[in-house]
Amino acid sequence: MFYRATVLIGLLGVASTFWLYSRFTVDDAFITWRYGKNLIEYGIWNYSPSHLDLTQAYTNPIFAALSILPPKLDFDVVLFFKIFGLVNLFAFVIWYARQTKGSYVTLLLLLGMPATIVHVFGGLETFLYVSLMSALFVALDKNNKSLSIGLALALFLTRPESWLLAALLPLFFLFKESPGKLDSSLLNQFFAQFRHAKPDIASAITVGAALIAPLLLYLFLNKAYFGYALPNSFYAKSGAFFSIDQFITLSFFISPLLLLVLYGKSKIFLLTSAYSMALALNYSMSNLQMDYSARFAFHIFVPIFVFLVYISTTYKGHLKLELNNIKIANATLETITKGFAVLFLLVLLKISGMVDAHMVTYYPRALDSHAALGKTLAQIRESYKLQSFALGDAGIAAYHSGLRALDNVGLGSALVTHEGLNSVTMDSYNPDLIAFHSRPNEIRLKDHNQAEIFKWATARGFNYVCDIYWQSDYTLKLYSRTALPELRAVCEASKAKNDRNNRSYLKSSWSTPPWHYWKE
């Protein structure tokens, strides 16, 4: 009875979280989706619909390839990727239930987190990545070489962090663990696995060739087309000052892997730890501009959480601790492992946001601001012979506009990333409209090269048009070369809808079904 009640409460929690957070779609998703749109409508594979400033602004080639289908089929791109998220979610649920022998309570805890629903429906590759990584950890534990290679190749096209697997997997299959059973000397057995291991050079070479050759080909094609082997975001975000706080936080979520010592799982412990620590180090040295809902901690911990639940139900054992003949602990490894996994999941829930009105109202606000701007530009571009505009929010507005879009932050512009934003870059794009990140009473000139842009615009006689409101303290101040009166209606509508705090917005919109916002 207690188990059924727990499952029922969990289902209600998942339903509530779905109702609120599945309406979220992140602006950055439209960066990737623009490639498919530009290919179908203009025959160009680039962030902007021209060959100027060729830029690989996406880090998820599999989503970039999928983005070709919606414009090709004349299907709403947001709805397409919401459906993709649902399919991914259902596949994960079925796989998780099978691999963990029906550990539905832990599954419901994971799915009941707002962060999980945000990442399932947000439009980026986050949930696909953690699903594939979870499956890879399990495949490696089962020593399934072919499946591990296939999952690693899929991961290569999902997130560039996974390229590290091209080095780690050959090392993993280089040694065969000696079979053993759990006993009272678990720690000794953990180290004994390698003392008796024999190298399997043929397997290591096979796995290495199967992974490295496709990866090198992919990097070569990137270099040949874009001029750079790595995605533009690598150059734009890497090299930031090392964040000790970030590294400590991310390392904290890796620490549950120490439980694998109790199972004597030497190889999988070393691989998962090495890979996760490499991610923690990389993220701690990067400018993480889109770490919403603790996205990067989610990347690291969710595969660990899933693997620990899986291994706790697969490898049985009992832990007894005594001190001076006094019993300290006597519990099954399954209970201990699941307990720690859930505890760390609750910490992730805390840092990712248990109740976050900002995430719930994010995309509805964007529809009435950034999306409305892009759609209006698309409608008036022929009348005013518009060719280009500049906006640091590289995503929704650019996607809808059909114009060259200068991303002054740099994600959507290799010129800005590698050469800096200067008058030469501005002249190359020659924008007809500029949207400045602002507050209602000032332009944030210190942010994202906006002082240089303002200087350029002033010298060419640009005039203030109006403010588009995304939030009360976040606006886009529009400056244009010529009068664009149609934009004033967008500004007025956005102010009427978005000039209020998140709680007020949520209070008036929470009852609207989430699928109402599953649209461009």
Spatial contact of 266 and 313, defined as CB atoms under 8 Å apart: no
- 90 pLDDT exceeds 80? yes
pLDDT at residue 134, as a whole number = 98
Per-residue pLDDT reduced to its tens digit, 138-179: 999 999 999 999 999 999 999 999 999 999 999 999 987 655
Average pLDDT on 272-288 reads 92
Average pLDDT on 89-96 reads 98
Q: Which of 230-234, 331-335, 415-419 has the lowest mean pLDDT?
A: 331-335
- Which long-range contacts link 516-520 to residues 24+ away (Cβ below 8 Å)? 516/23, 517/23, 517/25, 517/363, 517/364, 517/367, 518/22, 518/23, 518/76, 518/78, 518/79, 518/82, 519/76, 519/78, 519/79, 520/76, 520/77, 520/78, 520/371, 520/399, 520/400
Spatial contact of 477 and 436, defined as CB atoms under 8 Å apart: yes
Can you give the three-state secondary structure of 95-163, one letter per residue? HHHHHCCCCHHHHHHHHCCHHHHHHHHCCCCHHHHHHHHHHHHHHHHCCCHHHHHHHHHHHHCCCHHHH
Per-residue pLDDT reduced to its tens digit, 375-430: 999 999 999 999 999 998 889 999 999 999 999 998 999 999 999 999 999 999 99
Per-residue pLDDT reduced to its tens digit, 117-141: 999 999 999 999 999 999 999 999 9
- 445 pLDDT exceeds 60? yes
Q: Which of 136-150, 324-338, 362-376 has the lowest mean pLDDT?
A: 324-338
Backbone φ, ψ for residue 317 (5° rounding): 180, 170
Average pLDDT on 65-71 reads 98
- 196 pLDDT exceeds 70? no
89 half-sphere exposure, CB direction, 13 A CA radius: 22
- 236 pLDDT exceeds 90? no
- 345 pLDDT exceeds 80? yes
Cα radius of gyration rounded to whole Å, the chain: 25
pLDDT at residue 182, as a whole number = 47
Average pLDDT on 326-330 reads 51
Higher per-residue pLDDT: 400 or 263: 400
Average pLDDT on 216-228 reads 97
Q: Which of 82-96, 212-226, 253-267, 456-470 has the lowest mean pLDDT?
A: 253-267
pLDDT band at 237 (very low <50, low <70, confident <90, very high): confident
